[in-house]
Structure formats: C-alpha cells, structure tokens
Structure 1
Amino acid sequence: MSRKKQVNDLRSALELLETVPGQLIETDIEVDPHAELSGVYRHVGSGGTVMRPTKEGPAMIFNNIKGFDNARVAIGLLASRKRVGLLLDADPKKLGYHLMMAVKNPIPPIVIDKNDAKCQEVIHYADEPGFDLRKLVPAPTNTEEDAGPYITLGMCYASDPENGDSDITIHRLCIQSKDEISMFFTPGARHLGVFREKAEAMGKPLPISISIGVDPAIEIASCFEPPTTPLGFNELDIAGALRNSPVELTKCLTINENCIANAEYVIEGELLPNVTVREDQNTNTGKAMPEFPGYTGEAKDVPVIKVKAVTHRVNPIMQSCIGPSEEHRSMAGIPTEASIFQMIDRAMPGRLQNVYAPPCGNGKYVIIIQFKKSVQSDEGRQRQAALLAFSAFSELKHVFLVDEDVDIFDMNDVMWAMTTRFQGNEDAIFIPGVRCHPLDPSSTPEFSSSIRDVGIACKAIFDCTVPFDQKQHFTRAKFMDIDENKWAEYIK
C-alpha cells in the first residue's frame, strides 16, 4: 500500500487515519480521565487480553477531559494490526519482516535547534508558583483501583553516564505528586535500567526526558529488546529507518538530555539516586495498573523522577493506552516477530515463512511460527527454529509450529492444525525452569512447587507440523480460485 500523507508525528498520524473510514472516531462528551475514559474505550476497541466484552475497533479522541482545559486524549492508535500497517505504510501480515529490515538499516537521530522544536511551544517550570503535574498532564487511570494516573505511552530517553550512549524505552510511570513520578523497571530488561544503576553507583541523578504523543514508528521501535538491540543500540535508529528519515530530537531546557522535538508533551526530570516510593502511596490499594497479561500489577517500591519542567505544543494531545489492550500487543509483539524472524532466518534461510505474536500472548508470551519443510532433512529443523525463538526473545513462553498452508493470523486455523496434526505425547516439548517474565501470575513458587523463583516458567513448544514423509496424507481440500472482482459485492 502507499499512503498520500507522510506521517512524522502524532498529528499527522491522526490526519491519515481520518482519511480511512472506520479507523478514527472522536467525541465531545465530557469524560472523566479517572477510569471512565478507559472504561469507554474498552468497549470501543481495546481488544487484547482485556476482560470481555471488548473488541478491535477504531482509535478514539476524547476532546472534553474533565478537569482540564484545552487538552485532548487519543487512545488506541495502534490497537489494530491493520492500522499499524497503514501507519507504517506496510502490509499488516509482513510487519515483522518490515521491522527486521529496519533493524538492518538503521538511521540515527539528529538534534535540531530548540527554536524549531514544536514540543517547546509552551513551557512550565517546576519552580514556578502553581506548577502541578496533576493539572498539566491529563494522564488517565485504566481502572478505579489504579495507584494513580499513569503515563502509559511515555517515551523515556536517557544516556549512559559513562560513555554517552542513549536509548529510548517505555516504562510504567505513575504521577505521584505535583513534581514527582514513579518509574517501574522490569528487572534486567531495559537499557535505561543499566543507565540508572550506573548513575546511582556514582551517587548522581540520571537526567531523563519523557516524550508523549509521538510518531507511532517511535513507539513501536522503542519496544525492541536484546539480543536484537544490545546495550548501546539506540532504538530511535529503527524508527528513522521505518520513515527513511532521521528522528528529530532537541535539547531539553532544564536537564542535559534530548527529547522528541515534535512530541505533544515533554516532561524533563532526574531519576534520583537511592530514592524509592511505593507506587500506591496515594491510594493504598496494593495495586499498580493493569498489565499486558490481563491482570493488575502489584504496587512496588520503585525509583522516583523529580520533575524540572513540562513543555508542550499549543493545544496538546495526550496519548494513552490500556495496559492489556491490542495496542500493547502491537507495540511489543511486532518487534518480537522481527527479532525472531531475524534469528531464525539467519540460521536457516528460506524455511521460515512468517511469524506472528497473537493477541492471546499480548506480544510477549506466545508466538506462532510458519515453517516450510522442502526436503526430508528439514524434518526436525522446525523444533530448532522454536529454540531459536526462545533465544531471540527471552520472555517468550509458548511457541506453536505450523505448516505453510495454515493461516497464522487466524487462531481457529492454528487450533485446527493442533487438532489434526498434533499428538500431545509426541509433539509437546517442555523446557522447565527457564527465566520468563515476572508479570505472569502462574510463574511463582506458590503456583507450582517446580518453580524456584518468581518469573521462572516451563516454556513449551507445540509442534503442529506434519512429518515431511507424511505430507501427502495431509493435503487440505482444494477449492476453486474465483474472480474476486466479479463477486466483490458479496465477499468484501
């Protein structure tokens, strides 16, 4: 596909969606950012692992936010694979391959003059009278039990205090007071965690910018993880490759760091050394916010950002997402597909047909691999491909292997393959005692005595492929290829 409008920020992305029927709606009805906004979008289009009823639907803009003047909230921009394809100008079924090619052809960001930076059209300094994050940034809560308003799509940008390498990632950010934000780090999973630990060892704060409301290419690129993007690799290079143009940064006003130049909002601050806060200190619910597996995360003692300033565009648009929504699956899952595609294709070129991270795993836990066996010696390589997938993405829990005649984007077709091409005693391979992800509630010693620590799981491979020497007995019924144009009225 080829779009007419070039997307380079949130506003141009929304303008593109406005031209495509069924991809964007907006409302002027007043909405409470505390739980109501997310509650509405749950029914409109959140999808993912959100509790039913929910569905895949359009992105949505709320133009009337209770308690805030001249502020809007956009949600669900990436909560549809079709919409991601539209925004990245790529075939939705080939997004993993598309991102893999971007990783191979990085384009580094550039820094532009602050006079040309749209993100600094309006400036609020934290030492000014009346400064209050809670009144400046219309961050919604997902549920009534959330620890507080969460910035769910904040692009956190910081640099290694030793060598100056920079990186961008998304973290769980809870507004705690008029000038403090808590920041959750998944242990060992993000480059910024390494930067923070280095700064803390030096007894120094870590300058950090949080850019909100940016080009969707940046949001997706920021979700890559090692080994595809090792320490020292700046994921903004991938976003540049996706647009064939460097991401534009600009200098922050109060800290020695950069931010996204055309972001809707930028929060400037410092991660304080050896200071933590309980996420739910203002609510005492014991809960943080809904996370991608579909459960509400436990409130933790986490590091604190001391805010120095908030800058934004005129009439800014806050961007948010629902934690377990299809939007998370897009951001986490498509980079996962790209990482696995790269690892397997490098090891055994030509056999891998496609990779898909389905909504049930919300981008991290489940992968479907479409593998083609062309000769007898390919038998068994499909299981080797699954092992490579676990190496490419450590948080992966389950891999389904299917043949080239199975539609990996249709879970009914995948389950059909499992029903007719799988025997549990022969085709299920279990790998116990492997580190996975701490947010999986079944990965705890309390759930199973075989688990030694939180976040350890039994990874599993479900080989639903036909043995090569039996392929002739598993040929699907062939139907006539029709003239789709002739019958378009009926099959659209």
Structure 2
Amino acid sequence: MVKNLVNSIEKLVFEKSTKKFGVSRILKENDDKPVFIKDVNGYPVIGNLCTREVIAESLGIEKEDLMKHMVESMNNEKNGELIVDESLEKLYIDDDLEKIHDYPIPTYYGKDAGPYLTSGVVIVKDKDEGVNASIHRILVRPDGNLAIRMVEQRHLHYIYNKNIGNGEVDCAIVIGVHPAVLLAASTSGDVSFNELKYASALINKPLNLVKCKTVDLEVPEAEFIIEGKITAEMVDEGPFVDITGTYDVIRKQPLIKVTALRRKEDAIFHALLPGGSEHKLLMGIPQEPRMYKGIRNTVPSLKNVALTQGGCCWLNAVVSIDKKTEGDGKNAILAALAAHPSLKHVTVVDDDINIYDANDVEYAVATRVQSDKDIIIIPGAKGSSLDPSADHKNKLTAKMGIDATMSLLKGKEEFIRAEVPKDDE
C-alpha cells in the first residue's frame, strides 16, 4: 500500500543518511517536498509524505476537493468497512525486541530526549466505545520500551484512565500506513467516532486490518507494527519539538512495555519531521471540515477553508466565500474563530482568490481592505497553548479577522482583475 504510493509520487531521492540528525537535516532542507532515503541504518525511509497534493492523489481526488471530501466522508463514517485479512499475516517478519534500536527511528533535533516515533498511529480498544486511533509522539527509551505523550483532552487519555485499573492497556503502534489512516487518526470526533471506519470512508473501500499477536487488537495494514502494553508507570518524556518548532517541556508520561515487533520485508519507515510542513498539515487539515460546517451555518455561500502553513496549519486561516451581502465577510470571521478555538488570525476572501496561494491572499488584503473598517481585533480571548506569544499564565491571546472581500457598496467592477482572452476573436 505505502510502497505503491511511494513509487507513484514525485519525490526527491537520497542514497543514504544517519538516524541521528541526518534524516531531519534532509527533511528540513526539503520541507514540503516528499523525500525518499534509500538507506538509513539498512532501511528505506520516506518523509514529507503528506502534502495536500499527495493526500488528494492517494484518495483519488483533486486537491481543491479535499476538504469537502472529508466532510462527506465524516458524514459517512458509520458506513466504513473494516476487514481482518488473514492473508496479510504472511507478509510480516517477527523481530526480537532489542531490534527496535536498529530501526531507523530518528533523533530529530539537538535537545531531543532521544529517538522519537512521530508518525506512529496508536490503536487501543474500549469495550464500550470501541476502537480508537490517534497519533502521539513516542520516545524510544534505552531499555527498548517507550514513553508516550498523552494529551489530557484526547480520547486515548480518557480510554487509558478508564481501563488502567486493570493494570495495563493493550496498544499497537502502526508506522507506514495509507495517508487516509494518518488523516483519520488526526481527526477529532466524539469518543464513539471510529477513525478506522472514517479512513475506509475516505478511500471509499474496505480498510484491511491485521490481527496482532500479543495484544487483543486488529490494526491497519502497515510497514511496521509495534505491539505493547501501556502501563501505570510514569517516566520522563521530553524535551521534544512541537508544531511551532519550539521545545515542549519534560513531563511524567505513561510507559509502554513493548511485547512484539513486526515488519514487512523491505519495510519503508515513515519519518515525520516535528514542526515541519507534514506535521502542520496533519494537525491542521482535519480541523478544516469542522470549520467548514461551523462557518457554513452562518454564511451558507461559503466556498472553502484552509489553515495556512505559514500559520503552522493551526493559528492562521483563509476562508473563501461567494459574498451575497455586505456583512458576510465579518460574519464569516466570527464563525471561523468560534469553530476553531485555537485560531488566532483569519482572512476572508472572495471566491476569485486562490486560498492556497499566499500571494493571491495578500493581493486581496492589499487591494480590498480598509484597515479602519475591515479589520476586527478581539483582545483577551482564550487562545492556543501552542502560540509562543500568548499570555500562557492567564491562557489569553488577541485574535484578528481581516475582511478582504470586495465591497458591495462600491460595486465589484472596481475590483475585477483583467484577463487575457483565450482566443484572438
């Protein structure tokens, strides 16, 4: 599955690199361009994989249709199909547990606590809520076990706390999966939301699962499968780099005891650069359908939504509307800020502006904005913990909306851009 995608996409190819800082140097120097490294400690590595273009290609759609496709797939999540394919088991090799230190798991930055799994999708199961799939940073400890950063508001933390009274929680970490699985695992729904069924809806066909050997779980087909038990033991995790490219603090987090290592022959490892474009996209893209639904309730003529890479795919957004009345732009600003509470800045543009082109958006701001009328500033709002400039003591920030739409009072004629005719007639 991953091999087919790697073979089909346009990518930069490198012959060899090192696990410690070598992989991250290549990924950072070529950010936003898929990179394939043939040999990292004897394994091939793919990185910068999930661009908007690659995700759309893997789903068989155009980039501009991605967000609407996600909305439709989320609405169809319950109809996703999961199939345990026993024939897949013959593709896997069992490795000794100490082999984890030979895997091409990078150390990305100078102050990192050690090698980190960053693209691993963590699978757990709850008897009431069903299967949960989510992405978390995971430190590989010198003893070969793992420390997982478990954010308090996430569903994994809820399932862990609910079940840890039994002593341990079965888990599996899959690395090298279809982009639909990464996208689904990055998506927030309610606790009953089945991310794997959502992945099936995204690809519009059944999702093949592999049965684990040492834990009671079925997981998506992947290049690497790490099985383990999340324990009640708390160990140091961090420091590690977050989405803004700045360091997060050291915390006490749960220890995972590794119980099995499985991989495909010639398995391709997926290295996801912390703070890189791929990290930002996988955090941001799943928020766009939620924003789309929220804004559309207020402005029905909404066309599209994008969280921008320059804004870490988290703090800044561009919203496209087919403006019908003079207040639509400002209503869209308020709806966007409500739909994504971590949002800090939002720019609303007309539907003739390409929201994926920063120059085109800046053109709209330059030619369609009067600052005293079209900019809204909201001081003292609750903001994102990922914003380094926020008042973290009081959890406050200032938010801004820019209405960069054409004024209907002036008339659109003054704003229409000249076009060269397609023929000479």
TM-score, scaled relative to structure 1 = 0.80
1:347 deviation in Å? 4.5
Q: Which of structure 1's runs of 4+ aligned residues deviate more than 6 A?
A: none
Check whether the contact 2:320–2:353 (CA below 8 A) recurs between aligned residues: yes
Which residue of 151, 154, 179 maps to 1:216? 179
Partner of 1:460, secondary structure, is strand
The aligned runs of 1:158-237 (5 Å cut-off) are 158-161=124-127, 163-188=128-153, 190-200=154-164, 202-225=165-188, 229-237=189-197
1:483 deviation in Å? 5.2
Amino acid at match of 1:38: S
What is the distance in 1 between the residues matched to 2:359 and 2:294? 27
Judged with a 3 Å threshold, the aligned counterparts in structure 2 of structure 1 residues 323 and 480 are, in CA distance, closer, same or farther, namely: same
The aligned runs of 1:338-353 (5 Å cut-off) are 338-349=289-300, 351-353=301-303
Partner of 1:178, secondary structure, is coil
Check whether the contact 2:129–2:191 (CA below 8 A) recurs between aligned residues: no
What is the match of residue 134 of structure 1?
101
Judged with a 3 Å threshold, the aligned counterparts in structure 2 of structure 1 residues 61 and 388 are, in CA distance, closer, same or farther, namely: same
Deviation track 1:115-162 (CA, whole Å, cap 9, x = no partner) reads 43366x111354xxxx24222x2111222322111111001111235x
What is the distance in 2 between the residues matched to 1:147 and 1:37? 17
1:403 deviation in Å? 1.6
What is the match of residue 247 of structure 1?
207
Number of aligned positions between the proteins: 423
What is the match of residue 103 of structure 1?
74
Amino acid at match of 2:235: V
The aligned runs of 1:25-424 (5 Å cut-off) are 25-29=12-16, 31-43=17-29, 45-46=30-31, 56-57=32-33, 59-65=34-40, 68-69=41-42, 71-78=43-50, 80-106=51-77, 107-117=79-89, 121-124=92-95, 126=97, 131-135=98-102, 137-161=103-127, 163-188=128-153, 190-200=154-164, 202-225=165-188, 229-260=189-220, 262-273=221-232, 275-280=233-238, 287-288=239-240, 290-349=241-300, 351-374=301-324, 378-424=325-371
What is the distance in 2 between the residues matched to 1:452 and 1:209? 37
Deviation track 1:261-299 (CA, whole Å, cap 9, x = no partner) reads x201011112112x222124xxxxxx31x3221223333
What is the distance in 1 between the residues matched to 2:243 and 2:8? 28
Amino acid at match of 2:421: D
What is the distance in 1 between the residues matched to 2:46 and 2:89? 21
Check whether the contact 2:298–2:331 (CA below 8 A) recurs between aligned residues: no
The aligned runs of 1:430-441 (5 Å cut-off) are 430-441=377-388
What is the match of residue 410 of structure 2?
470
What is the distance in 2 between the residues matched to 1:347 and 1:182? 43
What is the distance in 2 between the residues matched to 1:358 and 1:123? 41
1:402 deviation in Å? 1.2
1:214 deviation in Å? 0.8
1:346 deviation in Å? 4.3
Judged with a 3 Å threshold, the aligned counterparts in structure 2 of structure 1 residues 157 and 481 are, in CA distance, closer, same or farther, namely: farther
Partner of 1:437, secondary structure, is coil
* Cα RMSD (Å): 2.3
State the identity as a percent: 26
Check whether the contact 1:13–1:216 (CA below 8 A) recurs between aligned residues: no
Amino acid at match of 1:396: L
Judged with a 3 Å threshold, the aligned counterparts in structure 2 of structure 1 residues 117 and 380 are, in CA distance, closer, same or farther, namely: farther
Judged with a 3 Å threshold, the aligned counterparts in structure 2 of structure 1 residues 203 and 41 are, in CA distance, closer, same or farther, namely: same
What is the distance in 1 between the residues matched to 2:370 and 2:151? 36
> Are 2:16 and 1:24 aligned?
no
What is the distance in 1 between the residues matched to 2:256 and 2:144? 8
Unaligned runs of 5+ in 1: 1-8, 18-22, 47-55, 281-286, 446-450, 485-492
Judged with a 3 Å threshold, the aligned counterparts in structure 2 of structure 1 residues 387 and 472 are, in CA distance, closer, same or farther, namely: closer
Which residue of 3, 8, 14 maps to 1:11? 3
Check whether the contact 1:340–1:392 (CA below 8 A) recurs between aligned residues: yes
The range that moved more, 339-348 or 85-94, is 339-348
Check whether the contact 1:95–1:334 (CA below 8 A) recurs between aligned residues: no
What is the distance in 2 between the residues matched to 1:153 and 1:404? 35
Judged with a 3 Å threshold, the aligned counterparts in structure 2 of structure 1 residues 334 and 132 are, in CA distance, closer, same or farther, namely: same
1:473 deviation in Å? 5.7
Partner of 2:304, secondary structure, is strand
Hey, which of these two has a bigger chunk of strand by percent? 2
What is the distance in 2 between the residues matched to 1:180 and 1:109? 33
Check whether the contact 1:122–1:311 (CA below 8 A) recurs between aligned residues: yes
Check whether the contact 1:84–1:330 (CA below 8 A) recurs between aligned residues: no
What is the distance in 2 between the residues matched to 1:381 and 1:197? 44
1:362 deviation in Å? 2.3
Check whether the contact 2:234–2:254 (CA below 8 A) recurs between aligned residues: yes
Deviation track 1:279-322 (CA, whole Å, cap 9, x = no partner) reads 24xxxxxx31x322122333332222111111111121111111
1:421 deviation in Å? 2.4
